Amino acid sequence: MKVFGLTGGIGMGKSTAGDLLRERGISVIDTDSIARQLVEPGLPALAEIRSAFGDGIVDSQGRLRRDELARRVFSDPLARRQLEQILHPRIREIWTRQIETWRAEGRDRAVVIIPLLFETDAQSNFDATICLACSAVTQKRRLLARGWDESQILQRNAAQLPIEKKIELSTQVVWSEAAVEVDAAQLARIVI
């Protein structure tokens, strides 16, 4: 089985790429989705986050207050590392287990979407790495459309390797400036 690690900056098309690949029958797992599942009420990761960051990090229904957690961790590198120490090992365990399951099932290709692929030193787990990238202008326009402000965009970008470095480290690059069909064609040439 050939396994691809897919990364890129925030708002550069990783989720869309995952959807496009799934539509073509490729097995895809997204670590952002795993992270959201790990912090559901009653799960150990949320309890550990609550212990580390205080009761104010959850709402009255016991759900993670993502906005509050983001405010704290993206303004404080030590807090961000603390959160990553809680989540990253759990996330890696899940996606590596999923790859093994797909191998046992005889699948021929799989993609793991990992925004922090190089930051977490995960690249050695893949046959190839793909970076989804776009210009800073396009990224900003996409993130503003999501309701983010300039401060949030700067903080999130500062928490990751610059996109130029991700491009340099990747074995393949998909430039996501054009229509979705163009992205689909680029991905098909690489993965399929």
pLDDT of 94 reads: 98
Across 172-184, average pLDDT? 94
Q: Mind listing the pLDDT tens digit for each residue in 92-135?
A: 999 999 999 999 999 999 999 999 999 999 999 999 999 999 99
Distance (Å, whole) CA 82 – CA 76? 10
More confident residue, 191 or 192: 191
Does pLDDT of 192 surpass 90?
A: no
For the chain, the structural domain boundaries read: 2-37+88-191
Residue 25 has a pLDDT of 96
Q: Which pTM was predicted? A: 0.94
Q: Check residue 7 and give its pLDDT.
A: 98
Give the strand order in the sheet containing 109-113. 27-30, 109-113, 2-8, 128-133, 172-175
Q: Which CATH superfamily is domain 2-37+88-191 in?
A: P-loop containing nucleotide triphosphate hydrolases (3.40.50.300)
Query: Looking at residue 174, what is its pLDDT?
Result: 97
Q: What is the mean pLDDT of the chain?
A: 96
Q: What is the pLDDT of residues 19-56, one digit of tens each?
A: 999 999 999 999 999 999 999 999 999 999 999 999 99
Give the residue from 67, 76, 71, 79 showing the smallest Cα distance to 151: 71
Q: What does the pLDDT average to over 1-18?
A: 96
